[in-house]
Structure 1
Amino acid sequence: MDWITHDEDVWFDFRGNSPKQLTPGRYYKGTVDGFADFGVFVDLAPGVTGLLHRSELDRRLESLDWESGDTVFVQVKNVRDNGNIDLGWSIRQAESEFRGARVHDPDGDADGEPIESEDRDGGPTPVKKTPKGAPTKSRKANGRESNGTTGADTTANETAADADVSADASDDRTDDTTGGEEADQRAVQAADEAAVDAAAEVAADAESDEPPERVTVDSLGDRVDERVRLEGEIIGARQTGGPTIFEVRDETAVVDAAAFVEAGVRAYPEVEEGDTVRLDGDVEMRRGELQVETEELTVLEGEDAEAVETRLADALSEKARPDAVEPLAAHDAVEAVTEQLGDAAEAIRTAVLQSRPIVIRHAATADGYVAGAAIERAVLPLIREEHARADAEYHFLNRRPLDDPVYGMDAATNDVTRMLQDNERHGEKLPLVILVGVGGTTDSLDGLGLLGVYGASRVVVDAAPVDPEIVDEASVLVSPSLTDVDAGGLSTGALGANLGAVVNADVSDDLSHLPAVSYWQDTPAAYADLAEEAGYDADRTRELREAIALEAYYQSYQDKRELVTDLLFDDTDGGLAGHVSEQFRIKLDDEVETAQANVEHRDVDGASVAVLDADSYSHRFDFPPTSLLADALHRRADDERPATIVYAMDELFVRTSDDVDVRAVASTARDAVPQGGITAVGIRQNRVEFLSGARDNVVDAVAEAVVEQL
């Protein structure tokens, strides 16, 4: 294709989607995207933007006759490894000034085809006034005040002076011809007109130098392409391959503000997270997201800072506290903890408003998933409302299931490592950690303590009784055991759903069926009725429970956010839940059938206890997990045996018809088998660990201790 040798004579219409597809040296048609003190951003295609640095211009930036949205021609000089595009000036700014036009379509059949110009003879691009967003000499550049008279004053003075010179020259001119007098009159008239024009220009520039109106972040959607002033707090700063992005929070919301010195160089290095600032800039819409192109960023001090801080604090307190605490249904245990729910909701809402990441920890069980997903459902809309970034809901909320219903050192070390890395690399605040049904016992003390060492806030939500030692380790604690009300019949899923409704009342209807989903049996009538009203009968809630239980087992350490959302909230016809729950029943029924055929029925002090060796008569590394198998075996028992014990290599699970204190059981068994290393480690699961070498003696001792307690 011989046209390639004449790239410098034609302009190209770029139809690619990556900077790497551009050809350095070619001239491209683009669209002015925005201005900064250092140059002009030009879009060459959707998502492909280059910088025409002011050093590349053939004139002063403030005298450039471009406006946002203008069609312009630029030369691609270089495409850097990080994707940044360096643009060069083109003296030709009209299609008619080029010898032709071609398509640059890297992945298409039209690549290289000529373009018929619609204005080949249309002449040069019209001259326009200085664009909104282009800096003038009177404006600050990267926080530094320019010296001397303003560009408007200089222009006015020079124009008026030129007019005076013309008038003086006309006075000195000898009127030797009949046209001399007319020439003098024209000169005087020109001087008068020039003076008027200069005064108008001075007035216009003076008006442009007036401070922009202070607005709130939540109003920026109506102010695209306008210059505004924001006052707020820097809650984050990150350096991209191009500009520095500051996250600015005011009393209404958060927005990204871009400031550019040169590619990859930190703008305003003196500005840090937590600073109270005043920011002037232009509101732009970039790839569907609001962003402010920073013209001036100032750290406030003294009374100015105090006024902004007070405004933010008052707004935060007002927005964070829920208006009311309304339980989803009548339940004494929930009504007894309404104040605690309000405190927990305020802590969660405050974290959102402060742009503090939130980590939700829950057990990888159906009950745990219901509780965690309910809180997630409530918080995500608040994050979307607070942050303009499209990925904010993934950035500021993480739900991390736990294989064991214990927040031990392993989980805590994982969370602390992540939060310290995010703080060091990205300047993120330390997270708020919500422990739903997994942080209420002494098994979690070490993990909670590690979070406390680093000052991370901890909200513990547990329907079961919590150990007294947890009270001092939790920043906020929600548990009916702190009241005089009997919490029997309250699941963690039901408590988590009620908390979600308090955090965000707008999603209460979305959560109304979740409490019923969390119960394997003995669902409180109030929750069953609530689910029925929402369109979820007993079969639908059962299918959801079974589907969540199955999916909780696979990839148990992953949140599976989208899949869980589809199952719990978006599966309107029940097709997805029905499909997954069918797999649940098939797998569970097969395993239970095998287990029932191999259950050993022991007579312990006149009571029948079912005992199963899960190592020998179940598939330990396939669904269902041992704890769920123990649940199913006990629920499906045909006789009236009081207890079921399912044991594996070095752990066992106790299931009883009445409540049993597994710690007391472990203590009694430990006295009987002191060499067995018996410890109750999973109070919520009634799980006991032991040394595998003493397994037979341990199982006998635990069975006797259980019957003795019952």
Structure 2
Amino acid sequence: MSEKCIECNGKGYSVTGTAKCPECKGTGKSKSIDFMKLSEKDMANFLKNGSSCNNCGGSGEIETRETCTACEGKGTFYKCKICGSAMEGPYDGDEICPSCAKKQVVYKLDNSCTLEELEVGRMYHAVVRNIADFGVFVDLNSNLRGLVHSSNMKETLEVGEAVIVSLKEIKPKGKMDLVPRKLKEYQTVELEKDLPTKTATEVSRMVGQKVRIEGEVIQVKQTAGPTIFTIADETGQVSGAAFESAGERAYPQIESDMIVSATGEITSRGDSVQLEVQSLKRLTGSKEAEILKRIEAAIDNRAEPYEIEYMVRSEVLEKLRPAMKKVAKEIRKAIIKSTPIILRHHADADGMTAAMAIEKAIIPLIKEVNGSDGEYHFYKRAPSKAPFYEVMDVVRDISFALEDTARHGQKMPLVVSVDNGSTLEDVPAMKQARVYGIQMIVVDHHHPDKEVDDYLIAHVNPAHVGGDFGVTAGMLCTEVARMININVEKEIDHLPAVAAVGDRSEADEARQYIEMVADRYSLQDLKDMALALDFEAYWLKFNNGKGIIDDILDFGDHRIHKNLVNLLCEQANEMISEQIDVCMAHVKSQNLPNGAILNVLDVENYAHKFTFPPPGKTSGEVHDRLCRRFADKPVITIGYGPDFAVIRSKGVKMNIPRMVRELHEEVKGGGVNGGGHLVVGSIKFVEGMRTEVLSKLAEKVGSVGVE
């Protein structure tokens, strides 16, 4: 088949410059004209403007050209099927260069080939299928079977043996008469049926027709019957069913992420269509690169996030817009490419609202791409008990991902971590994820460490633009969710307000978000939802609480929402009240040199264990009561156990992440780590060094400035 020369773009020459027209000497005017041949209109134009030179078109200049050496001025050239070299034209009627034609050519038929591609006299690769008294039946491909008659056989052939046969005759009803051939030297040429290459969106209108589809394999799923290959191109996806035998993997050499060419017939499957695969081949080299580039360009364009105006006025959000758009685009791109998404979030009110905002935005898009059950195969939401991505979390994620890859041929997932993921504590888990090629995105408001960015493809954190933890993860993720899918805006617009009260944000953005939904939810309503989330998260443990969390956040029946939130808050408040009544009698307070009041509580010995509220929540509730008691003074509360301490503060200028780093260095053998926000956080240490660590911690909080 001829191809357009890429050197001259099919023109046969290249332009090297311009020169004065030799006909008109550069004037652009014709020297003479036959008035008898001019129409009345042309005559009027001539009298007004004169006549243009036919050689240069009136420009006065002509191009200087050089003949293209690549195609020798032809503009096109033929490529040899075997060696790929350029040649003048078909040699002996076939697209094989004279050099290769000196060797015998044996054709290997693709499964898409039928009798139409066969030619008497040509030689073909075949496999012995079965043996009869009168000869041997051989398969040229999965569709074509012919007979080697015993009269033509000089040697005994065995079932499964590869042979070369020459096509002697095509008899009526498509029966083939074949002759075995022995060749010392030959060239193999793969032969495919010349089918039109169609896109995924075009095939829905081509039921009953045979087509070729080129694209990327995004999933391989083995069923009890056929193997299902999901192939994506620049327009969408199409499912291809290939059958070897019941439950047996077809085309085992084809895996996810490969660029392939698939041929077959389009059939109807209910509301969708399916390609009945006859041939499936991996594409490599320039063809692979061309298709991949085309797909990536189209996906990149389709993944562009929505341009939105933020729901509130915020300088921090405006500065974060590029980073937030990048997160939205990467998530949209993953959905389009059917990359599974694992949504990780801290198990508290802020983390849950952040995750639910993203979830509500992406599930409709996942269903649009992968069908109505797509969310069960391409999406998972999982809470993290700690405010960081623990090794326990990543081990679970990797285990599930490897299982899905083995069973369903899925890609490794994209992990989206919200309300955690910004600190050094996250790095060990991120390192494990990197080993398996798992990409990660973080949207967080905890004080970040720059080292984590080495493991992320996108990262949103207010601290990157001079903001602080007052702009919570729930606020950030709701705005990102609107960039991903603007259609969910009205459904999720109350989530930032719940996040604001749940994380006790005092930022101006919090006030605006709360005021924005005041016509639907009072401040107490928002606080109740946040408390109900915290209460239910404690009992859910590692369960995502699908359905229950929706009802708490008023995504379903409003009556159920009110009844459930009221009940959960009643139970939570009873347990908090009982816990705090016990704890307050054991709080020890002292005045610090900086004027702040330090309150300490041994939550291991003077609080109920293994129930709500847990140590962190207990310390926070105790701190709230002490803040009301010492309303006009800076207050620091430390709730500690055998190997941990929870820090809450008001009116002080602490930097807990920095304190943790200093304690790690100063208390040798203490094993200190932890973090959090600047003035709210937690630390861990080895139990035997508790006295030394807490003493050093008290010194540090006593030396910080107060407001």
TM-score band, normalised by the shorter chain?
A: 0.5 to 0.7
Q: Residues 304 and 473 of structure 1: is their aligned pair in 2 closer, same or farther, counting only changes over 3 Å?
A: closer
Please give the residue correspondences for 1:472-491 in structure 2 after superposition, counting only pairs within 5 Å: 472-483=454-465, 485-487=466-468, 489-491=470-472
Question: Residue 636 of structure 2 corresponds to which residue in structure 1?
Answer: 643
Distance 1:619 1:301, change over 3 A: same
Counterpart of 1:677 in structure 2 is: 670
Partner of 1:621: 610
CA distance in 2, matches of 1:547, 1:211: 60
SS at match of 1:469: helix
Distance in 2, Cα, partners of 1:294 & 1:668: 63
Cα distance between partner residues in 2 of 1:142 and 1:416: 44
Q: Distance in 1 between matches of 2:383 and 2:140?
A: 45
Match of 1:502 in 2: 483
Per-residue deviation, residues 505-527 of structure 1 (Å, max 9, x unmatched): 22122221111111233362221
Residue of structure 1 in register with 2:537 after alignment: 552
> 2:347 is matched with which residue: 354, 359, 364?
364
Paired amino acid for 1:526: Q
* 1:500 maps to amino acid: A
CA distance in 2, matches of 1:218, 1:545: 49
Is the counterpart of residue 686 in structure 1 residue 667 in structure 2?
Answer: no
Q: Deviations over 1:346-390 (max 9, x none)?
A: 1111111222111222211111111122112211111111112x4
Change (3 A) 1:539 1:139: farther
Q: How far apart in 2 are the matches of 1:399 and 1:356?
A: 15
Indicate how the Cα distance of structure 1 residues 136 and 665 shifts in structure 2: closer, same or farther if over 3 A, else same: closer
Q: How far apart are 1:212 and its partner, in Å?
A: 7.5
Deviations 1:201-238 (A, max 9, x none): xxxxxxxx995783534873x77777765442221212
Residues 579, 613 of structure 2: 8 Å contact kept: yes
Q: Is the 8 A contact 1:547 1:581 kept in 2?
A: yes
What are the equivalent positions in structure 2 for 1:229-244 lying under 5 Å apart?
230-244=213-227
Query: Distance between the aligned counterparts of 1:237 and 1:468, measured in 2?
Result: 38
Are residues 1:347 and 2:338 paired? no
| Distance apart, 1:455 and its partner CA | 2.5
Indicate if the aligned counterparts of 1:383 and 1:392 stay in contact, CA closer than 8 A: yes
1:620 counterpart letter in structure 2: K
Q: How does 1:80-159 map to 2 (within 5 A)?
A: 144=142, 146=144, 154=172
Q: Which has the higher helix share?
A: 1
1:317 maps to what in 2? 300
CA spacing shift, 1:488–1:664, aligned 2, 3 Å: closer
- The one of 198, 205, 208 equivalent to 1:214 is 198
Q: Secondary structure at the match of 2:235?
A: coil
Q: Which residue number corresponds to residue 467 of structure 1?
A: 449
Give the aligned partner of residue 568 of structure 2. 580
Instruction: Trace 1:43-54 onto structure 2 (pairs within 5 A).
Output: none
Q: Secondary structure at the match of 1:617?
A: coil
Q: 2:683 is paired with a residue of what secondary structure?
A: strand
Deviation of 1:590 after TM superposition, in Å, equals: 2.3
| 1:331–1:139 distance in 2 versus 1, CA, 3 Å | farther
* Equivalent residue runs for 1:589-604 within 5 Å: 589-604=577-592
* 1:555–1:386 Cα change, 3 Å: same
Q: Contact between 2:663 and 2:672, CA under 8 Å: does it hold in 1?
A: no
Task: Note if contact 2:643-2:686 (Cα within 8 Å) is conserved in structure 1.
Answer: yes
Secondary structure of the residue that 2:551 maps to in structure 1? helix
Conserved in 2, the CA contact under 8 Å of 1:669 and 1:698? yes
Q: After TM superposition, give the deviation of residue 392 of structure 1 in Å.
A: 1.8
CA distance 1:218–1:499, shift in 2 (3 Å): farther
Within a 5 Å distance, the mapping from 1:412-431 to structure 2 comes to 412-431=394-413
Tell me the amino acid that sits aligned with residue 279 of structure 1: T
Structure 1 residues 333 and 215, CA gap change in structure 2 (3 angstroms): same
- For 2:274 and 2:579, locate their aligned partners in 1 and report how far apart those are by CA, in whole Å: 56
How well do the aligned residues superpose, as a CA RMSD in angstroms? 3.4
Aligned position for 1:85: none
Given that residues 653 and 704 in structure 2 are in contact (C-alpha distance below 8 angstroms), is that contact kept between their aligned partners in structure 1? Answer: no
Quote the Cα distance in structure 1 between the aligned partners of 2:202 and 2:491: 26
SS of equivalent residue, structure 1 residue 532: coil
Whole-angstrom CA distance in 2 between matches of 1:331 and 1:510: 22
Return the alpha-carbon distance in structure 2 between the equivalents of residues 301 and 600 of structure 1: 72
Say if 1:678 and 1:698, in contact at 8 Å, map to a contact too. Answer: no
- Asked whether 1:493 is paired with 2:474, we answer yes
Tell me if the contact between 1:678 and 1:688 (Cα under 8 Å) persists in the aligned partners. no
Counterparts of 2:684 and 2:286 in 1: how far apart (Å)? Answer: 61
Give 1:531's aligned amino acid: V
> What residue identity is the alignment partner of 1:639?
R
Match 2:523 to one of 533, 538, 543: 538
Look up the SS of the partner of 1:482 in the other structure.
helix
Number of equivalenced pairs: 518
Q: Distance in 1 between matches of 2:220 and 2:623?
A: 55
Q: Which residue of 2 aligns with 1:10?
A: none
Contact 1:442 1:467 in 2 (8 A): yes
Deviation at 1:323, TM superposition (A): 3.7
Q: Secondary structure of the equivalent of 2:540?
A: coil
1:708 to 694, 703, 706: 703
Q: TM-score, normalised by structure 2?
A: 0.66
Report % sequence identity.
29
Change in Cα spacing, 1:474 to 1:224, as seen in structure 2 (3 Å) is same
Q: 1:269 to 1:635 in 2, by over 3 A?
A: same
Residue 313 of structure 1 deviates from its aligned partner by 2.1
Deviations 1:285-344 (CA, angstroms, capped at 9, x unpaired): 36x776444355455567765654344222201111214254232222111110001111
Query: In 2, are the aligned partners of 1:253 and 1:385 still within 8 Å (CA)?
Result: no
- What is the CA–CA distance in structure 2 between the aligned matches of 1:239 and 1:482, rounded to whole Å? 46
1:33-44 equivalences under 5 Å are none
Cα deviation 1:454-512 (Å, max 9, x = unaligned): 332121222233112223232212122222x3335211111122221112222122221
Gap change, CA 1:147 and 1:693, over 3 Å in 2:
closer
Q: Aligned partners of 2:500 and 2:403: how far apart in 1? A: 38
8 Å CA contact retained: 2:306, 2:485: no
Structure 1 residue 156: Cα displacement: 11
Distance verdict in 2 for CA 1:546–1:137, change over 3 Å: farther
CA distance in structure 2 between the partners assigned to 1:609 and 1:332 by the alignment: 35
SS at match of 1:583: helix
2:217–2:255 contact (8 Å) kept in structure 1:
yes
What residue ranges of structure 1 are gaps of 5+ in the alignment? 1-134, 158-208
Q: How does 1:22-421 map to 2 (within 5 A)?
A: 144=142, 146=144, 154=172, 214-217=198-201, 220=204, 230-273=213-256, 274-285=258-269, 291-297=274-280, 299=282, 308-388=291-371, 390-421=372-403
Contact kept, 8 Å, 2:199 with 2:233, in 1: the verdict is: no
Could you tell me which residue of structure 1 aligns to residue 500 of structure 2? 519
- 2:605 paired with 1:612: no
Deviation at 1:139, TM superposition (A): 10
Q: Deviations over 1:581-612 (max 9, x none)?
A: 33222222322232223322233335422211
- Encode CA deviations 1:504-563: one digit per residue, 9 max, x unaligned: 222122221111111233362221123336x33323322221121112112321222232
Structure 1 residues 654 and 422: CA distance shift in structure 2, 3 A:
same
Q: Describe the shift of the 1:334–1:427 C-alpha distance in structure 2 as closer, same or farther (beyond 3 A).
A: same
Secondary structure of 1:337's match?
Answer: helix
Instruction: Give 1:572 shift.
Output: 2.7
Structure 1 counterpart SS, 2:517: helix
State the AA in 2 paired with 1:257.
Answer: G
CA contact (8 A) 1:284 1:293 kept: no
Question: Conserved in 1, the CA contact under 8 Å of 2:423 and 2:446?
Answer: no
3-state DSSP class of the match of 2:416?
strand
In structure 2, distance between residues paired with 1:441 and 1:582: 35
Question: Is this contact kept in 2: 1:328–1:501, CA < 8 A?
Answer: no
Distance (whole Å) between structure 2 residues aligned to residue 237 and residue 443 of structure 1: 36
Deviation at 1:701, TM superposition (A): 3.6
1:451 and 2:433 are equivalent in the alignment: yes
Q: Distance in 2 between matches of 1:266 and 1:308?
A: 26
The change in CA–CA distance for 1:243 and 1:404 in structure 2 (over 3 A counts) is same
